[in-house]
Structure formats: C-alpha cells, structure tokens
Amino acid sequence: MRVSIYSTKAGLHWDRTFNETSTFASTFTPAGRYPSGCWVESSGRLRLKLAVSIVDGGWVWQPIGGRLGGIAFPVWLLPRTVASKCIDNGRYQFKVEVSLPLLGTLLSYGGKLALDSGT
C-alpha cells in the first residue's frame, strides 16, 4: 500500500494505492471550527462529514453525515468507520477500518508515514 498526503488551496489530499493497481483519492476540507466544526471528505460525487475527537493527543474521525451527488443520507446508512491519526515517536501514524453490519470488515489499512522529499 502507498499513501501520499499533500495540501493545496483546495484542501488536504489523500491518495491511496492498494497493490499498485487500485487508487482511492480524496480531499479533506474544513467546515467551521473545532469543536463544533467538521471536515468534509470528498471523492468524486461522495461527500462525508467527519467530526473530530481528540483522544490521547491524536485525532479520531467520527462520520456524522454524507451525500452522494445531491442526495443526503443518514449516519445509520454509512458503513461503520474507525479512523484515527496521531504522532508516534515523531512519525505520523494512521489507522482506518471500514465495516458493515452482518458482513464485517470490508477494508482495513494503516501505517506510519515516511517523509518523501520528492526526489
């Protein structure tokens, strides 16, 4: 798995590549301010609203809504997501797990990022 994270004026970009074949790219943009604000993760026509809780100095994402195109859907229709990020021994560490009731875990990934200077 390869994860590239970078920022532009449009937001914080996460590009994930699985098995060097499948790519999932999304952009995070802030909406409001902590603690009442949230982040919006956008990928194609999908928009997820994510609240943030601070736990042991790291972030834990909490889905609070979503839209597909112009259609809003309630939180109970969202896949169950456990996602977090923190700094561990000076390195950025993240974990993501997505599951569905009755089906279980659909996707799980995580790791510690290394700085790539672009050279």
E runs forming strands in the chain: 2-8, 11-18, 22-31, 38-43, 46-55, 58-68, 71-73, 80-88, 91-100, 104-112
Query: Are 2 and 17 within 8 A, CB to CB?
Result: yes
Does residue 117 lie in a domain region?
no
Does residue 118 lie in a domain region?
no
Does residue 40 lie in a domain region?
yes
Does residue 82 lie in a domain region?
yes
Does residue 103 lie in a domain region?
yes
Dihedral sign (CA 90, 91, 92, 93): negative
Three-state DSSP state, 81: strand
Domain extent for 7: 2-112
- List the pLDDT tens digit at each of the 119 positions of the chain: 888 889 999 999 999 998 888 999 999 999 998 778 999 999 999 999 999 888 888 989 988 999 989 899 888 888 888 899 998 888 889 999 989 878 899 889 998 887 776 64
Q: How many domains does the chain have?
A: 1
Does residue 24 lie in a domain region?
yes
